């Protein structure tokens, strides 16, 4: 058997402890599958005293993750610190410059600095693996870059933030408001320290940018991802969508169009009986459409110690086997800088309005829609006991620009009493 692959782990939070636990518990199995032993030589974290539920006594300790990355007895740096800059990026760059391979779960760092780090890794002839950065334990990176390498990818879409999906499905199942379920998720520890990373779509947008780069052979371009969070989704929207046969999901979609690369992360209505519509709780799902394979669906746990640590260890084993691939599926210098494109494909839209209940109110709304080139498929006015009349409109297929124009016009109509809500109905 070959000499051991020696790894250093920077970051001993939930995932770091999980990686250690897997390597300790499955060392014989890993050695057989990797063709060589995988051993931990050193670790690094902010506190030496914290009880992490795993035995660290056999490993050397480095207070500085950059020093860990440069150790002579470390072949692979496993970066689990997090954060787009700071010690995480410094340690990864130091490891690559020192001729080490790197495994990371850091989606934010790669979404911002992925192009730079990919070029650095490939110049050094080293691996930079990041399966755990997207969708936890779901092998979506490997599927896109390896199994589907012969396909022209037409669309990537999915639910990529378990916290948002948990909030939306709890609102639906419990009939509770966004604020109530948000507080529950925060108490359970499901939210990031900055909740906007989750509910604002930023975390999921990082993941989408990485998938788009692999799927379409483009440079990672997170700043061009259109982001809209779930903060404005109300229990009323969820109930009305259900009545129409839909569910609301924070949906990521990436596709290459004639105008450029479309990347968006936004709440959408999806058919309730579709694979994406059926996803519950903190589960993630990614749908990939290839020209040869057609649509395939990958679903599973998108976060948590076990699933994410499993993905990290899978990357370590690939490196132990000698597998070194371009970071984003093709050499970094061949990745194209695609122009960003807004939504190019027309779709039906859900519009929820609150109008003054007086003659001619609906006619004024219909006029605003018509002048924007938006036609009504169906409309429903709900029973009410106040002068404010709730109205639901489902449009025929319309361009996003036309919907924005119509909503802006409705805001100015004198019968409008509240901010209109417009959500795309995604055709799956």
What is 58-123 written as a DSSP string?
Answer: TSEE-SSHHHHHT-TT-SEEEE---SSSHHHHHHHHHHHHTT-EEEE--HHHHHHHHHHHHHHHHH
CATH class assigned to 140-302+333-341 = alpha beta
Count of beta carbons in the 10 Å neighbourhood of residue 48: 11
Q: What pLDDT digit, counting tens, does each position of 10-24 carry?
A: 999 999 999 999 999
Q: Enumerate the active-site residues.
A: 207
Q: Which CATH superfamily is domain 5-133 in?
A: NAD(P)-binding Rossmann-like Domain (3.40.50.720)
Distance CA 380, CA 401 (A): 24
Burial of 423 (0-12, 13-18, 19+ CB in 10 A): buried
What residue spans define the domains of the chain? Answer: 5-133, 140-302+333-341, 349-425
Q: Residue 193 pLDDT more than 90? A: no
Nearest Cα neighbor of 230 from 181, 190, 193, 276 is: 181
Q: What pLDDT digit, counting tens, does each position of 263-294 carry?
A: 999 999 999 999 999 999 889 999 999 999 99
Write down the pLDDT at residue 194: 85
Q: What pLDDT digit, counting tens, does each position of 228-256 carry?
A: 999 999 999 999 999 999 999 999 999 99
Distance CA 400, CA 148 (A): 31
CATH architecture of 349-425: 2-Layer Sandwich (3.30)
């Amino acid at each position: 058997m070959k000499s051991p692959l020696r790894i250093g782990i920077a970051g001993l939070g939930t995932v770091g402890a999980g990686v250690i636990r897997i390597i300790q518990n499955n060392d014989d199995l890993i050695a057989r599958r990797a063709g060589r032993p995988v051993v931990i030589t050193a670790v690094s974290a902010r506190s030496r005293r914290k009880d992490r539920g795993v035995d660290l006594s056999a490993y050397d300790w480095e207070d500085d993750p950059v020093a860990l990355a440069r150790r002579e007895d470390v072949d692979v740096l496993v970066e689990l610190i997090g954060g787009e800059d700071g010690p995480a990026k410094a340690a990864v760059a130091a490891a690559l410059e020192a001729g080490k391979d790197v495994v990371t779960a850091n989606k934010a760092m790669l979404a911002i600095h992925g192009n730079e780090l990919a070029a650095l890794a490939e110049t050094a002839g080293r691996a930079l693996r990041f399966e755990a950065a997207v969708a936890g334990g779901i092998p979506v990176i490997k599927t896109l870059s390896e199994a589907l390498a012969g396909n022209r990818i037409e669309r990537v879409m999915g639910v990529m933030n378990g916290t948002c999906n948990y909030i939306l499905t709890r609102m639906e199942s419990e009939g509770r408001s966004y604020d109530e379920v948000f507080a529950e998720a925060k108490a359970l520890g499901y939210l990031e320290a900055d909740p906007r990373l989750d509910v604002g779509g930023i975390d999921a947008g990082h993941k989408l940018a990485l998938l788009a780069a692999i799927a379409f052979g483009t440079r990672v371009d997170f700043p061009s991802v259109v982001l809209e969070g779930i903060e404005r989704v109300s229990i009323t929207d969820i109930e009305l969508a259900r009545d129409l046969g839909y569910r609301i999901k924070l949906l990521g979609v990436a596709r290459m169009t004639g105008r450029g690369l479309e990347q968006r992360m936004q709440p959408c209505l999806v058919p309730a009986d579709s694979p994406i519509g059926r996803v519950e709780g903190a589960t993630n799902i990614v749908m990939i459409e290839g020209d040869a394979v057609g649509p395939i669906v990958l679903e599973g746990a998108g976060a948590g110690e076990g699933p994410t640590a499993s993905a990290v260890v899978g990357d370590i084993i690939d490196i132990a086997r000698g597998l070194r691939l371009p970071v984003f599926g093709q050499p970094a210098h061949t990745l194209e800088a695609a122009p960003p494109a807004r939504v190019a494909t027309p779709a039906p839209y859900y519009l929820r309005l609150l109008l003054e209940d007086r003659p001619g109110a609906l006619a004024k709304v219909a006029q605003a829609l018509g002048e924007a080139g938006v036609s009504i498929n169906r409309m429903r006015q709900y029973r009410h006991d106040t002068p404010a009349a709730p109205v639901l409109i489902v449009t025929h297929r319309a361009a996003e620009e036309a919907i924005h124009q119509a909503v802006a016009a409705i805001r100015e109509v004198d019968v409008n009493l509240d901010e209109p809500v417009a959500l795309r109905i995604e055709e799956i």
